[in-house]
Chains A and B, each alone.
Chain A
C-alpha cells in the first residue's frame, strides 16, 4: 500500500480514523497497532517476522535493563558501604553487555539481510588478487519494508533506555507499535521512543484542527509528489538510464531535475506521513527544514533528512569519539604529533566513518560509499582550509556576515549538493564518472527529453511554488494556521485549487510511467 494510492487515502486512512475516533480512549492505541500491522502485512506478507523479531529483542533488552536498575536500587542500600561502589560497577558492566548484545543483534540482522551480497562482492574482489581463489556470490535476501528504519529505531530505543533517557516499555505491543507505526515504518522519520510514546499510548482526543490540518498537509505532499516529482522523473529516468546519449546542458538539467524530484518526493512523502500521523494527534519528527537555504554542506545535512543525521550523530559519531579506542588514539596523537592533532584527528576519523555510514545506509554498494565520502571530503577540506583562508583573507569573518557573501554560500552549497546528487543517482561508479566528464561536452539537441514544453512550464511553476512555501517557512510563517484565519471563500478557493491541481496536473495515468517512492528502497 503506497502513501499516494487510492486505497491508502480513501479506504485505509478513513477506516482507521473512524475506528480510532469512535473507540474508547484505552482502545485507541490498539486501533493504531492493528492498523499498523494491517498496513505492514499488506505490503510484506510473511516477512513481517523481521519487525516482530526486532520488537521482541528491543523490548526484551529494555526490560532487562530496567530490571537491573531496579535490582541496583533495591539491594544497594542494604550492602555495606565498602561493597556499594563495586556492586554498582558490576551492574553497570552487566547493563553494558545487555545493550551491546541487543544492538549487535539488531545491527546484525540489518547487515545480514541488506549488506551480505555487497560484503561477499567486496571479499571476492579482494581475493581475486590471490591466484586460485574461489569467486563466490551470495544471493540477495528479500529486504522487508522499512528494515533500515525500524532496526535503527529499535537500536535508539535500547540505547535510550540504557542511558536513562526514557523508561522501558512494560508491554511488547508498545514497542511493536512504536516500530511498526505505519506513517514512519516505510521511509521514516527516525523517531525516539520517549518523544512518540506519550501520543501513541495516551492519544489526544479527536480534534477538528488536527483532522483538517493533517488533510491539508497530505494534499500538499501529494502535490509535491504527483505534480512535481513524478513529472520530473520522466526526464531524469531518460537521462540517467541512458547516460551515454546525453552531455552538457542535457545532463546538467537532468541532475537539477533529479534534485528537484528527490526533494519534492521525499519531503512530499514526509508531508503525507506527518499529515497522516497528525490526524491521530501523533507528532512525527520533521525531516526537512528548508535545506536549500544552507550556507555549507554541513548545514545542508542538518536541514535535509534531519533525523538520519541526528540518529548517526547521537548513536554513532558521539559515542565513537568518546569511546576508549578513540581516546587511546587521541593520546597517541598527543604524544607522537601534537596536542592540536589529538584534538582534531579523532574527530576527523569519526566524521569519516559517520559519512561513510550515511552513504552506505542508502545502499549496499561502492557508489553509495563514494557518495558519503564525497561529502566527508568537502567538509574535511573546508575545515583544513579554514586557518589558511583566514590568514590570506583576514577580512573574511566580516565578509561572512554580509548578504552577498551569504548568497554566494547558498549558491555554492547548491552546486556542491547537485554534484552529490549526480553521484547518488548514477547507475554505478563508472556511470557517475562518465556523466561528470560528459558535463563538459556541449549537447546539440532539444532539451525537451521525454517532457514537452508545457510539462517544463508546470515543473518550473511547481518549483517556484515549492521555493516560495519554503521561503515563507524560513521566515517563520505557519501557513496552515495563517490560512485558517482568512475568510471562508479564500480558504476554500485555496483548498479546492490544491485538490484540483493534484487531479489535473498530477503525472498519473496512461501517459506517464509509474514512479515508485525512491526512499522506500533503502
Chain B
C-alpha cells in the first residue's frame, strides 16, 4: 500500500510539472501581436479600449466578410465589432466570447448561426467538439504551429496586444463569382436538428449573455451555398425555446436585396462588399430601431473612432467601386454565355 501511495504522489507531481511546462510553452508560442491571434482581423478586438463596443458580432468567415460595423458608426455612431474567423464553431465562439467579456460589455451580442451547422466533413461531431474545446482550453494546442515563427530574438519579447483594425473586424472582398442557384430556401422535407453537443454550448452562450446583461440576437448571414430551410427551422425552434429573436436574412421577407449574381465572390458561400453593404444597412436599421444604442460620435474616448471614419469611408468607396466593376464584367459574361 505504501509503495502504491508513493507511486501515486510521484505521478501527481510529474503531471503538475508537465502542466506547468505545457502552460509556459503555450505562453511562449502565442503570437506576439493580437493581429495574428485569429483569422481575418478578429484579434483586433483586444486592441480596442475597454467597454467601448456596444454591438458584438460573433461568427465565422461569413460574418467577417458580410458585416461592416464602421458603416453603423458613420451612419449613427453605433460602435460594433465583427469577431469572425474562418471555421469557428460554437465551441470556439463560447470561449472567445468569455474572454472578450473580460474587456468589453456589449449591449447586444449578434450570433451568426452559420457556425451551428458548419463542421469539417471528415470529422465526427465528437472529434470536432473535442478538438475545438482542447484548442480553447490549452493554448499550446491552438498555437503549436507558431514555433515556425519563433526566432531567438523574439522569444523573450513582450506580447503587444494593442493593434487596432480600422474596419472593426470586417474584411472587404471585391471579387465576383456568381451563384446560379436560384431558390435555396424551399422545403425539401429534410430536418436539421442542432447536434447535441453544439446545442449544449449554445445554451452556455445564452446564459453567458444573460450573466453579462447583453441582449442576444440570432441572425443568419445570406449564404446560398450553405443555408437551407431545414437549418432555418432548426435555429428557429432553438430561438423559440429560449425566447430569442431570430433574423434570417436568407428568408424572402428579410432579404436585404441580395443579388446572387453580383453580391458573392465564391458562388454563394460568402458576401462581397456589395452584398455586405446591403446586409449591414438592413441589420443596422433593425439594431437602431429595437435597441437603445448610444451615438458615440464626438464623445470623449471615441476620438480614434472619429478618425477611423475617414479612413474607412475612403477604403469602402474604393472597394465598392472595384466591386461594381467586377460585377459588371461578371454580368456581361453571363449575358454572353446565355446568348
CB distance from A188 to the nearest CB of B (A): 25
Say yes or no for B126: interface residue by CB 8 A criterion: yes
Say yes or no for A496: interface residue by CB 8 A criterion: yes
Say yes or no for B122: interface residue by CB 8 A criterion: yes
Q: Whole-angstrom distance between the alpha carbons of A401 and B131 in the complex?
A: 54
Contact present for B21 and A500 (CB under 8 Å): yes
Q: Count the A-B residue pairs with Cβ separation under 8 angstroms: how many?
A: 46
Q: B14-28 CB contact bits vs A (8 Å, 1 = yes)?
A: 100110011001000
Contacts of B145 in A (CB 8 A): 509, 511
Chain B residues 132-147 with CB under 8 Å of chain A are: 134-135, 140-142, 144-145, 147
Q: Whole-angstrom distance between the alpha carbons of A380 and B246 in the complex?
A: 74
Chain B residue at minimal CB-CB distance from A516: B122
Say yes or no for A454: interface residue by CB 8 A criterion: yes
Contact present for A492 and B29 (CB under 8 Å): no
Say yes or no for A503: interface residue by CB 8 A criterion: yes
Majority SS at the chain B contact face: helix
Chain A residues 134-174 with CB under 8 Å of chain B are: none
Chain A contact-residue range equals: 10 to 19
Contact present for B126 and A503 (CB under 8 Å): no
Q: Whole-angstrom distance between the alpha carbons of A251 and B147 in the complex?
A: 28
Say yes or no for B238: interface residue by CB 8 A criterion: no
Contact present for A504 and B147 (CB under 8 Å): yes
Contacts of B127 in A (CB 8 A): 5, 7
Q: A496-521 CB contact bits vs B (8 Å, 1 = yes)?
A: 10011001111001110010000000
Contact present for A504 and B148 (CB under 8 Å): no
Contact present for B7 and A503 (CB under 8 Å): no
The answer to whether residues A503 and B25 also contact, given A6-B130, A454-B148, A510-B87 and a CB cut-off of 8 A, is: yes
The answer to whether residues A504 and B144 also contact, given A492-B17, A496-B17, A499-B18 and a CB cut-off of 8 A, is: yes
Say yes or no for A452: interface residue by CB 8 A criterion: yes
Contact present for B148 and A452 (CB under 8 Å): yes
Say yes or no for A495: interface residue by CB 8 A criterion: yes
Contact present for B21 and A495 (CB under 8 Å): no
Q: Whole-angstrom distance between the alpha carbons of A504 and B29 in the complex?
A: 9
Contact present for A503 and B144 (CB under 8 Å): yes
Contacts of A514 in B (CB 8 A): 122-123
Contacts of B14 in A (CB 8 A): 492, 495
Contact present for B25 and A504 (CB under 8 Å): yes
Contacts of A506 in B (CB 8 A): 144
Known: A208-B3, A503-B144, A506-B144. 16 other contacts (CB 8 A): A5-B127, A6-B134, A7-B126, A454-B148, A492-B14, A495-B18, A496-B18, A499-B18, A503-B22, A503-B141, A504-B140, A504-B144, A505-B147, A509-B142, A509-B144, A514-B122
Interface residues of B (CB under 8 A from A): 3, 7, 14, 17-18, 21-22, 25, 29, 87, 122-123, 126-127, 130-131, 134-135, 140-142, 144-145, 147-148
Interface residues of A (CB under 8 A from B): 5-7, 208, 452, 454, 492, 495-496, 499-500, 503-506, 509-511, 514
20 A-B residue pairs with Cβ-Cβ distance under 8 Å, sorted by A, are: A5-B127, A6-B131, A7-B127, A208-B7, A452-B148, A495-B14, A496-B17, A496-B21, A499-B22, A500-B22, A503-B22, A503-B25, A503-B140, A506-B144, A509-B141, A509-B142, A509-B144, A509-B145, A514-B122, A514-B123
Q: Would you list the 6 A-B pairs with minimal beta carbon distance, nearest first?
A: A454-B148, A504-B144, A208-B7, A6-B130, A496-B21, A504-B147
